């Protein structure tokens, strides 16, 4: 029996556990990345571990989220991150250099390596054959310190691609089709591996679009083989020495197989408010639109923007819409500027944004009230755009550009095939790493502005807890619901301030009410439905509730990254043993637990008295995570291990 590519790389990096599906394993991490919205807290946590330097092969700190420096807070965070790099062996990619995933693919990604990033779209690296995984910042800090990263040995879903895309159908349509098949839920603990003869027809930027938005499936990551197309991309980046061929065995065994004929695909769109709400564009064409935004880490490569430029060249966009274009990196920006593509885009009526996350995270370019916005990014959760009533549709750059010209959603297949601009990967990209500051042996003062606080310290688990059900929510609660992004991001290094906005758009009084209860010694539990915590890796969706006094989250099912973040900050993640109990528990119900430490240490079942009735819940944690919960969180657990000089028994 042969190995999948996924298991080949995991086997090479295995440091703990048995590589069998369902087992918890620890893997060695070769590279890490952080971005400024999560990185400031990650590095504060790394400092708290008292480790003199990173122990990875490569760690890079990117500034790409909070680049709208309205006030001192974001600028102070950036200065802190920049002064951290020279002291701890970290590369620093400054504001303006581009989105972390785009830049990492261009300048640092390495086939066969493992990459852990404090951003949920880190799986972009799978486009060049990496095992690239998103995680909370504290997990990344631990990996920078040389610790393993723990995952469940995955089931591997093989997606076999055959055929070739027709003109006007793109890689974005492939991943939207995969989302239509697998949806955003039910895929926790899986990795998607792409194989088949259709792969040879996809460039690395196209593959990266697919692995990037694979994060919306809820899988651990996605991966493509490293082949001749990968070598071509790395050679063009003057990094051919990083290439090696990586393929699955011919007799590799997979847990599930799906076949997609690329020649049969047509342009698709994800409708509000979920990336798996997929429809054919042909069913919706003619819909009046208010905004078109092209960019984000999903679709901002040179190939994407050069294609857009060719579509709009010599034409004007509809004057009633706002047309926004954002390159993914400084490299892309400079290349389209030098070859004239940028001039064509500007001439069409586009507004050009800097190479940053921008509109994708709600940092600017919010649509009008009730506005219909076509976007090439990866998420369209309600309110994420910055306009709660905004209707966000996700689609390809080709579909977006054509629609911008008409002022309505158009079906690209209505256009002649000969009009489709076929863009090839350049033989050589422009290489200018002047905005990447390498680490230095020289120690410098670490600058901490007034908005930068201490890392959040948690208390060891209490054996007895009393409290109330502080909030009850439904299915598909995202980390955007829990911790809003956009203008609130500037408080990420200031936990007391950022905690004021927990569930701001769900229950505006939640934070104040919950903190007041904590001050009275009353803890809080949250009740939720299916796929709780989907979306961003932001660990603040666990840190800030913990700060307010949340100690339990009880739901029908969790998404992987968020459940891990809850454990890392001492919040006990529980699932309903009997889902019918969800309807019986009400906000304001009092709860009480006794003997919690013993139950977490020895049992899968946690007994809780709620409103005078006994309930059984399942503990959603591995054996190692039980120890983390008892210690009160991963930072406490890691410090205890370092002081004891040994690994805690499991």
**Exposure letters 402-430 (e unless 16+ CB within 10 A, then b):** bbbbebbbbbbbeeeeeebeebebeeebe
536 is catalytic: yes
598 is catalytic: no
Q: Which of 4, 59, 61, 65 is catalytic?
A: 65
User: CB-side exposure of 639: number of CA atoms within 13 Å?
Assistant: 17
Q: Which two tokens stand for residue 331?
A: 């490299």
Q: Which of 30, 36, 119, 411 is catalytic?
A: 119
538 is catalytic: yes
Intra-chain end-to-end CA distance of the chain, in Å = 31
Which of helix, strand or coil describes residue 472?
strand
The answer to whether the CB of 268 falls within 8 A of the CB of 297 is no
- The H-or-E segment that residue 523 falls in is strand 523-527
The DSSP annotation for 306-318 comes to HHHHHHHTT----
Q: Which of 64, 173, 276, 344 is catalytic?
A: 64
Torsion 509-514-520-524 (CA) sign: positive
CA-wise closest residue to 137 among 123, 122, 127: 122
For the sheet containing 221-223, what is the strand order? 221-223, 190-195, 155-162, 256-261
What's the rounded Cα separation, in Å, for the pair 41 and 540? 9
Distance of CA 477 to the CA centre of its chain: 15
119 is catalytic: yes
Cβ within 8 Å of residue 434, ≥6 positions away: none
Measured at the CA of 646, the angle between CA 640 and CA 648, to 5 degrees, comes to: 65
Torsion 368-372-376-382 (CA) sign: positive
Could you tell me where the DSSP H helices lie in 520-586? 540-548, 560-568
Q: Which residue has the tokens 């504001």?
A: 95
Q: What is the DSSP letter of 505?
A: T
What's the rounded Cα separation, in Å, for the pair 334 and 357? 18
Cβ within 8 Å of residue 175, ≥6 positions away: 209, 210, 213, 214
What's the rounded Cα separation, in Å, for the pair 429 and 435? 16
Q: Which of 207, 492, 538, 560 is catalytic?
A: 538
Torsion 61-354-435-104 (CA) sign: positive
CA-wise closest residue to 9 among 249, 233, 334: 249
Q: Which of 536, 537, 557, 563 is catalytic?
A: 536
DSSP collapsed to 3 states, 367-426: CCCCCEEEECCCCCCCCCCCCCCCEEEECCHHHHHHHHHHCECCCHHHCCHHHCCCCCCC
107 is catalytic: no
The answer to whether the CB of 66 falls within 8 A of the CB of 36 is yes
Q: Which residue has the tokens 């973040």?
A: 565
180 is catalytic: no
CA dihedral 149, 152, 155, 159 (to 10 degrees): -40
Catalytic residues: 64-65, 119, 379, 536, 538
């Amino acid at each position: 029996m042969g190995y999948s590519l996924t298991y080949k790389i995991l086997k090479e990096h295995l440091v703990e556990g048995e590589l069998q599906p369902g087992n918890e394993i620890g893997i060695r991490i070769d590279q890490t990345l952080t971005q400024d919205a999560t990185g400031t807290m990650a590095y504060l946590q790394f400092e708290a571990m008292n480790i003199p330097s990173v122990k990875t092969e490569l760690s890079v700190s990117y500034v790409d989220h909070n680049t709208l420096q309205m006030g001192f807070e974001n600028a102070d965070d950036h200065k802190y991150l920049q002064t951290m790099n020279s002291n701890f062996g970290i590369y620093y990619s400054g504001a303006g250099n581009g989105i972390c995933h785009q830049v990492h693919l261009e300048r640092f990604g390495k086939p066969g390596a493992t990459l852990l990033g404090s951003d949920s779209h880190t799986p972009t690296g799978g486009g060049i054959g990496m095992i690239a995984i998103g995680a909370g910042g504290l997990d990344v800090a631990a990996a920078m310190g040389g610790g393993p990263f723990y995952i469940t040995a995955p089931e591997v879903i093989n997606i076999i691609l055959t055929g070739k895309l027709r003109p006007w159908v793109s890689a974005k349509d492939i991943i939207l089709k995969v989302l239509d098949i697998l949806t955003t839920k039910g895929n926790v603990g899986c990795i998607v591996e792409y194989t088949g003869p259709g792969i040879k027809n996809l460039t690395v930027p196209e593959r990266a679009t697919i692995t990037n938005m694979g994060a919306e499936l809820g899988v651990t990551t996605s991966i493509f083989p490293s082949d001749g197309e990968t070598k071509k991309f790395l050679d063009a980046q003057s990094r051919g020495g990083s290439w090696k061929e990586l393929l699955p065995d011919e007799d590799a065994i997979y847990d599930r197989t799906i076949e997609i004929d690329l020649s049969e695909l047509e342009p698709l769109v994800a409708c509000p408010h979920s990336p798996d709400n997929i429809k054919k564009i042909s069913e919706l064409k003619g819909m009046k639109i208010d905004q078109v935004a092209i960019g984000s880490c999903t679709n901002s490569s040179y190939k994407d923007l050069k294609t857009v430029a060719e579509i709009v060249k010599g034409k004007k966009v509809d004057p009633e819409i706002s047309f926004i274009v954002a390159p993914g990196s400084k490299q892309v920006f400079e290349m389209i500027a030098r070859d004239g593509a940028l001039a064509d885009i500007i001439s069409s009526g586009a507004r050009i944004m800097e190479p940053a996350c921008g509109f994708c995270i709600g940092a600017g370019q919010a649509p009008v009230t009730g506005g219909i916005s076509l976007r090439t990014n990866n998420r369209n959760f309600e309110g994420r755009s910055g306009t709660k009533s905004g209707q966000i549709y996700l689609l390809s750059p080709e579909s977006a550009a054509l629609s911008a010209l008409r002022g309505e959603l158009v079906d690209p297949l209505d256009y002649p095939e000969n009009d489709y601009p076929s863009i090839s990967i350049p033989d050589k990209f422009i290489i200018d790493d002047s905005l990447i500051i390498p680490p230095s042996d020289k120690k410098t003062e670490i600058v901490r502005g007034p908005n930068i606080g201490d890392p959040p310290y948690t208390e060891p688990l209490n054996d007895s807890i009393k409290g109330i059900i502080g909030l009850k929510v439904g299915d598909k609660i995202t980390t955007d619901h829990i911790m809003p992004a956009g203008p609130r991001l500037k408080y990420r290094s200031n936990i007391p301030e950022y905690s004021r906005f927990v569930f701001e758009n769900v229950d505006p009084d939640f934070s104040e009410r919950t903190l007041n209860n904590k001050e009275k010694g009353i803890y809080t539990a949250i009740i939720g439905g299916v796929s709780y915590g989907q979306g961003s890796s932001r660990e603040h969706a666990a840190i800030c509730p913990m700060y307010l006094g949340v100690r339990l989250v009880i739901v029908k099912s969790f998404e992987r990254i968020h459940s891990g973040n809850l454990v890392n900050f001492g919040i006990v993640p529980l699932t309903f043993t009997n889902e019918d109990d969800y309807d019986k528990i009400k906000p304001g119900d009092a709860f009480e637990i006794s003997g919690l430490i013993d139950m977490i240490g020895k049992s899968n079942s946690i007994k809780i008295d709620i409103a005078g009735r006994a309930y059984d819940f399942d503990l959603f944690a591995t054996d190692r995570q039980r120890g983390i919960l008892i210690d009160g969180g991963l930072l406490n657990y890691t410090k205890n291990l370092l002081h004891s000089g040994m690994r805690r028994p499991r």
